[in-house]
A and B are shown apart, each in its own frame.
Chain A
C-alpha cells in the first residue's frame, strides 16, 4: 500500500512580474492536508487554484512561504507527488501499458514488481484488456483513466488532480467521478482535487476549500462530514453545494 503523506502549506504566495509591476496570483495560502484525506479546491477563474497545484507538484520553484510533504520541504518534481492534468497528456506513440510504465521509469523496483504494479493499476482504473491500445484509439474518459493509472503506478504519497474531468462530457464526467472515489477509497492516498465544478467538489471531498481571486487566497474551508461512498441523491450534499455556491456568489 502506498503510504499517504501529510501536505502542509504555510503562507504560500506567488507573484509574477508583468508589464509595469507585479501580479499577485496567490497570497497567504495556509492549509494542512491530513494523510489519506480528500480535499477539493473550488474557485472561479483567476483564483490561482491551478497555480497552487503547479507549486505543489514542483513545476514552478519560486514562491513565498513553505510547502512541505511529511515535514520535508519540497524540491522540484518527485515521484512522491503525482498529478493528473486536465488533458490526459499521454504520449501518442506509446500503448496504454507503455504510458503507464512511464511512471515507473525512474523507480528502482525490480522488473517483475514493476510489471505487476502496471497490471494492477490498469485493472484498478477499469481498463484491463486495453493494455496494447494506443491513445488515439481511446475515448476521452478512457485516456484520462490511463493518466490516473500513470500517476498512481509509482505509489506516490500524494495525488494532485487539476480539473481532470473538465474536458469530458457530462455523462463521462459523472462516471469518472464515481471511479475516482472508488480508486481513492481503495488506495487511501492523500488527494487534492482542483475543480470549478461545485457538485464534483462536494461529492468527492472530505473538505472543500473555497478560494477567491485577485489575489488568490482561501476564503473558507467547508467540511463535508459524510461517509464514503457517497450517494449523489443525498440531500445533505445539495445543502453543502448551496453553501459553497453562496460563498462563491458572495464574491460576485
Chain B
C-alpha cells in the first residue's frame, strides 16, 4: 500500500457482528480498568460466600482470614523464610541445569558428530518428565536438598539444551562466512559470531527453563519437603487450613511471575540491538 496507514484503520477491521455491540461498548472504557472488573467481581462473590456461609471455612476461608494470615506471615518473617528456601533451591537447580544444558547444547551444536552420538540418548531421557525421576532419585539420594536440586536441574536442563542446539543451528551461514573472510579462529568465531547470533533462541530456552524449574520446585516440595512454599501448601492442606494454602499459592504465582519478568527484562536489554535497527541484518536483507 502506498498511502501511509494510520493506526485508526486497524481498529475497524474487527467484524461488525451485532451480538458483539456490547463488546464494542466495553472497548470504550479505559483499557486498564476493564481488566479489574472480573477480579473485583470474584472478590465480591468470595466475600459474599464467606459471609453467607455457603461453604464451610475448611473449603473456602473468607478473604478476611486469608488477608489476616498473609499479614501475620509477612510480619513474622515466616513467609519470607519459606520463600527464600524455595528460591535458593531454584537458584541452585536452575544454575546447575541451565549451565549443563547450555554446555551440552553448544557441544551438540558445534559438532554434528557429537549431536548424532549423544542426541538420541538425550531425547530418550528427556521424554521422562522430571517428576518421573523422583522415585528413582529418592532411592539414590534420599529426600534431602540434593533431590530437589537434581529434579529442578533436570527440568531446566532439557529446554536449554534443545534451544541452544536449535539456536546454534539457526545461525545464518552468512555470518559464519564473514567470520571466515576475516580470518576468525575457532574461539573468536564462537564468542563473537555464533553465540551472540544464537542468543535469542538460547534466551527463549532460558525462560522456558526457568518456568519448568519453578514448576518442578513446587512439585518436588509438595512431595518431599519440610520447608519451602510447597511444604507450606502441604502443611496447610493436612491441617485443613486453606488460608495457608491460598497464601502459598499466591506467593508461588507471584514469584513465578516475577522471575519470568526479570528474565524478560534481561532478554530485552541483551537484544536492544533488535529494536534499534529496522529488521534483521544478514539473512537476505539490506545491510
A–B interface present (Cβ within 8 A): yes
Chain A residues at the B interface, C-beta cutoff of 8 Å: 16-18, 23, 25, 44-51, 59-61, 76, 86, 162-163, 196, 216
8 Å CB contact of A46 from B4, B9, B16: B4
A60 to B8, CA, bound (A): 10
- Nearest Cβ on chain B to A180's Cβ, whole angstroms: 19
8 Å CB contact of B9 from A48, A60, A216: A60
Asked if A162 and B6 sit within 8 Å, CB to CB, the answer is no
- Nearest Cβ on chain A to B8's Cβ, whole angstroms: 5
Asked if B3 and A47 sit within 8 Å, CB to CB, the answer is yes
Closest to B16 in A: A76
Asked if A48 and B12 sit within 8 Å, CB to CB, the answer is no
Please name 22 pairs of A and B residues whose Cβ atoms are closer than 8 Å in the assembled complex, sorted by A. Answer: A23-B6, A25-B3, A44-B2, A45-B2, A45-B3, A45-B4, A46-B2, A46-B3, A46-B4, A47-B3, A49-B3, A50-B1, A50-B2, A50-B3, A60-B9, A60-B12, A61-B12, A76-B16, A163-B1, A163-B2, A196-B2, A216-B3
Closest to A62 in B: B12
8 Å CB contact of B6 from A18, A45, A50, A59: A18
8 Å CB contact of B8 from A17, A44, A59, A61: A17
Asked if B3 and A48 sit within 8 Å, CB to CB, the answer is yes
A179 to B3, CA, bound (A): 26
Closest to A61 in B: B12
- Nearest Cβ on chain A to B16's Cβ, whole angstroms: 8
A23 to B4, CA, bound (A): 11
A25, A45, A46, A51 — which one has the most chain B CB atoms within 10 A of its CB?
Answer: A51
- Nearest Cβ on chain A to B18's Cβ, whole angstroms: 13
- Nearest Cβ on chain A to B165's Cβ, whole angstroms: 28
What are the residues of chain B within 8 A of A50 when measuring CB–CB? 1-3
- Nearest Cβ on chain B to A218's Cβ, whole angstroms: 15
Asked if B6 and A16 sit within 8 Å, CB to CB, the answer is yes
